[in-house]
Structure 1
Amino acid sequence: MTSFLTRRLSRVALVGSAAVAAMMLSACGNGLASGGGEKSDDGPIVLGMLTPLSGSSSAIGPYMKNAAQLAVDEINAKGGVNGRKLELKVEDEACDAKSATAGANKLVTAGVKISVGGYCSGATLPTLPIFEKAGVPMLIPAANSNELVAQHKKNVFLINGTGAQQSDAALKFMKKVGATKVALMDDNTSYSKDIADTTAKLLTGSPALAGRESVTAGESDYGANVNAILKGQPDFIYWTGYYQEGGLIIRQLRQAGYKGNVMVADGSVDQKLVDIAGPEAAEGVFATMTQTPETIQGAEKWIADYKSKFGADPGPYSTQAYDAVRVAAEAVGKAGSTDGDAVIKALEGIDGFQLFSGPLKFTPEHTLSSGGFQILVVENGKIVLKDTLQ
């Protein structure tokens, strides 16, 4: 009896070993290098999104998550892509490199085929090599630091205008309102410092650079930074960081007696900026920003659909996140496959696909042909369109 069992178990072990070996061989090329754990071209096409669901920029996360889900649901209602439904998986980037790295690894393990997230540039940067190694194309709807472009990753595409395009728009408006001495303030993160650095290089004539100041994010008092920047007697101050610090700085600038123009970059465009600064201090503050739902002509039905589904108004970067999913679906449809290289080739070949910001055609650097930045302003406590810069 013992001899029989021994022979029987040995045969089972041999068969099991052969089966494992066969599975390993058949899995070659279908692991992380081919876009994660999904090993066949059936079942849902999994899209991954990293967005801030916690931390100081957590107000933005739901806008992006909800808008992406709205696009997924609309596409699925029409039959999906190549006969397959889309599925959205979301992880928290928290505007923190460590959190974003952990989230990216989770998404790769979950088998995502395309990434449609990325809000904070400093958190998005360390995820680039993770998705590159996994063969996952990235359609970044918000993060726009020039450092993202400088990595020259073939799998990275930006749906938002770049930091350089934002700086160009800022300078155009500064000249338009007659600014002569411009001071720049940043929070020393990749995104914020990038815009400040690029803008500083443009301020070589009139207007001229009147000073620069970098703050530490997360503090509750920026009085020392405010006093330092006002020593240069600027008539225009451009804050390139996020709304949490931006609101405090605006309030403290006004408390210090500064009466000149203040403008913020797109990372500060949220109603919370006004809430933190206070309506009186925020009144008249300008912002460089790509389109928001309220500034898009003809977006009323889309806004109504969003509000009906989620019970809230769409906010900044909701339309960009919505479009990132649509572009992903378009590329997979054109490629006829979720293979990373095939999708990248399809993305590079897109010409005229209609986004909220206009017809899409990527540059050789995988950025938008036109940044689409415009100027918003706080009026009566609300952020509204001021100037399209057209």
Structure 2
Amino acid sequence: MRKTKLAVALVAVSTLALSGCQGVFGGSDKSGSDGPITLGMAIPMSGSSSAIGPYMKNGAQLAVDEINAKGGVLGRKLKLNVQDGACDPKTASTAANKLVAAGVTMSIGGYCSSATLPTLSVFNKANIPMIIPAANSADLVSQHLPNVFLINGTGVQQAQSAVTWLTKQQAKRVALVDDSTSYSTDITKRTKADIAKAGGSMKTVLHESVNAGESDYSSNVHDIVSARPDFVYWTGYYQEGGLIIRQLRQAGYKGKVMVADGSVDGKLISVAGQSTAQGVYATMTETPDTMPGAGDWIASYKKKFGAEPGPYSPQSYDAVRVAAKAMKDAKSTDGKKIEAALMKIDGFPLFSGKLKFTADHTLTEGGFVILEVKGAKFTLADDLKN
């Protein structure tokens, strides 16, 4: 059923992106300008999460080019302005201010939640709507800012997915490990609460926080192993995750490991070591190669960029499409009118399904699945393939 619904959504996505599009993106512009409409994107192009940046940039650029080839939005072409947020709060704030100074109409960036958080007020003060494709901490919407919209599942939904899988795997003793960032601690906190609510024989035996950016986690690993878990859930990013997985195995840990979506990247496998990473699970919104019916879109991406799409390429592609639809529906590039149009969207097809925002500006459905490391990549877990 899930695959059927997703395949239907992908057909609709392809139809909208590649057909005439005049009915979707046409209309009269109320802004009085005939220059390009600029979309801003603050994403990690440097730092430990820099592998994700090109995936997001390329996904967004593919949507921009497809829309422009069909006439643009409100009779104007779209333009993408990418600034490096480096997954660092200070750098991301600087990037956001650069985008505001450049006159962007909307923001479609945001990968690390801790770096995205300080950009919210920057864009809000400038009356710039934000469609965030990747960052998903509940802290992003806790301020109830009218300009902030998430098109990735939230930490609430990811925690629920994690506990459902832990239950299916008959986990008894779970160790939760985060990196002290907003995104990571949000997931561990909610997972711990959901485990308690689930009752039964499963319990949290350890909640450990590590310092991001270190190379030796032996002290944390000792604490984890000493707690005797049969399942470790790491909710931070791939660089530290890879090191912790490697050091856990070196310390003799024989249980199962699962990581959150910030660790779903081939770099985790290379840092941990391919043989060591085998069988590691992940809670993740679907990646291009796990999406049934995404072959044509993947082919278009590969033809344009000469490389495979990766994590958050589809979400970034969709962020541009949602931005374009909202401006068309609003018949304007005014931020407040765009925000109102975003809240009225009902059934617009994304890779994750049909879009409708909740009152908190999050997805009605989270769309998380379980991936598993096989060989040199993450793929849909065996138990979900039938």
Instruction: Tell me the residue number matched to 1:368.
Output: 363
Indicate if the aligned counterparts of 1:60 and 1:317 stay in contact, CA closer than 8 A.
yes
Q: Which amino acid aligns with 1:238?
A: Y
Within the candidate set 301, 310, 318, 2:313 is matched to 318
Tell me the SS of whatever aligns to 2:364: coil
Indicate if the aligned counterparts of 1:71 and 1:325 stay in contact, CA closer than 8 A.
yes
What runs of 5+ residues in structure 1 fail to find an aligned partner?
1-38
Indicate if the aligned counterparts of 1:141 and 1:324 stay in contact, CA closer than 8 A.
yes
Return the alpha-carbon distance in structure 2 between the equivalents of residues 381 and 301 of structure 1.
23
Instruction: Tell me the residue number matched to 2:280.
Output: 285
1:223 aligns with 2:215: no
TM superposition score normalised by structure 2: 0.90
Tell me the SS of whatever aligns to 1:209: strand
Instruction: Tell me the residue number matched to 2:266.
Output: 271
Return the alpha-carbon distance in structure 2 between the equivalents of residues 50 and 238 of structure 1.
28
Return the alpha-carbon distance in structure 2 between the equivalents of residues 389 and 207 of structure 1.
26
Please state how far the C-alpha of 1:388 moved relative to its aligned partner.
Answer: 5.0
Tell me the SS of whatever aligns to 2:370: strand
Instruction: Tell me the residue number matched to 1:30.
Output: none
Aligned residue runs from structure 1 range 254-269, under 5 A: 254-269=249-264
Instruction: Tell me the residue number matched to 1:214.
Output: 209
Larger RCO (CA within 8 A; separation ≥ 6): 2
Task: Say what the alpha-carbon RMSD is for the aligned residues.
Answer: 1.2
Within the candidate set 171, 182, 198, 2:190 is matched to 198
Return the alpha-carbon distance in structure 2 between the equivalents of residues 389 and 151 of structure 1.
39
Q: Deviations over 1:106-134 (max 9, x none)?
A: 00000001100000000000000000000
Within the candidate set 83, 86, 95, 1:91 is matched to 83
The structure number with the bigger radius of gyration is: 1
Return the alpha-carbon distance in structure 2 between the equivalents of residues 238 and 131 of structure 1.
34
Q: Deviations over 1:76-114 (max 9, x none)?
A: 000001111101100000000000000000000000011
TM superposition score normalised by structure 1: 0.89
What runs of 5+ residues in structure 2 fail to find an aligned partner?
1-30
Q: Which amino acid aligns with 1:43?
A: G
Q: Which amino acid aligns with 2:63?
A: A
Aligned residue runs from structure 1 range 15-164, under 5 A: 40-164=32-156
Instruction: Tell me the residue number matched to 1:17.
Output: none
Within the candidate set 330, 344, 357, 2:325 is matched to 330
Instruction: Tell me the residue number matched to 1:12.
Output: none
Return the alpha-carbon distance in structure 2 between the equivalents of residues 269 and 363 of structure 1.
26
Instruction: Tell me the residue number matched to 1:35.
Output: none
Indicate if the aligned counterparts of 1:51 and 1:94 stay in contact, CA closer than 8 A.
yes
Tell me the SS of whatever aligns to 2:346: coil
Q: Number of matched residues?
A: 352
Displaced runs of 4+ in structure 1, greater than 3 A? Answer: 387-390
Indicate if the aligned counterparts of 1:96 and 1:123 stay in contact, CA closer than 8 A.
yes
Taking structure 1 as reference, are residues 207 and 138 closer, same or farther at Cα in structure 2, changes over 3 Å only?
same
Q: Deviations over 1:288-314 (max 9, x none)?
A: 000100111111111111111111110
Q: Deviations over 1:287-343 (max 9, x none)?
A: 000010011111111111111111111000000000000000000001100001110
Please state how far the C-alpha of 1:389 moved relative to its aligned partner.
Answer: 10
Within the candidate set 375, 383, 386, 1:380 is matched to 375
Which is worse superposed, 136-145 or 379-388? 379-388
Q: Which amino acid aligns with 2:311?
A: P
Return the alpha-carbon distance in structure 2 between the equivalents of residues 174 and 127 of structure 1.
34
Q: Which amino acid aligns with 2:350?
A: L
Return the alpha-carbon distance in structure 2 between the equivalents of residues 261 and 151 of structure 1.
36
Q: Which amino acid aligns with 1:342?
A: K
Tell me the SS of whatever aligns to 1:313: coil
Return the alpha-carbon distance in structure 1 between the equivalents of residues 75 and 38 of structure 2.
14
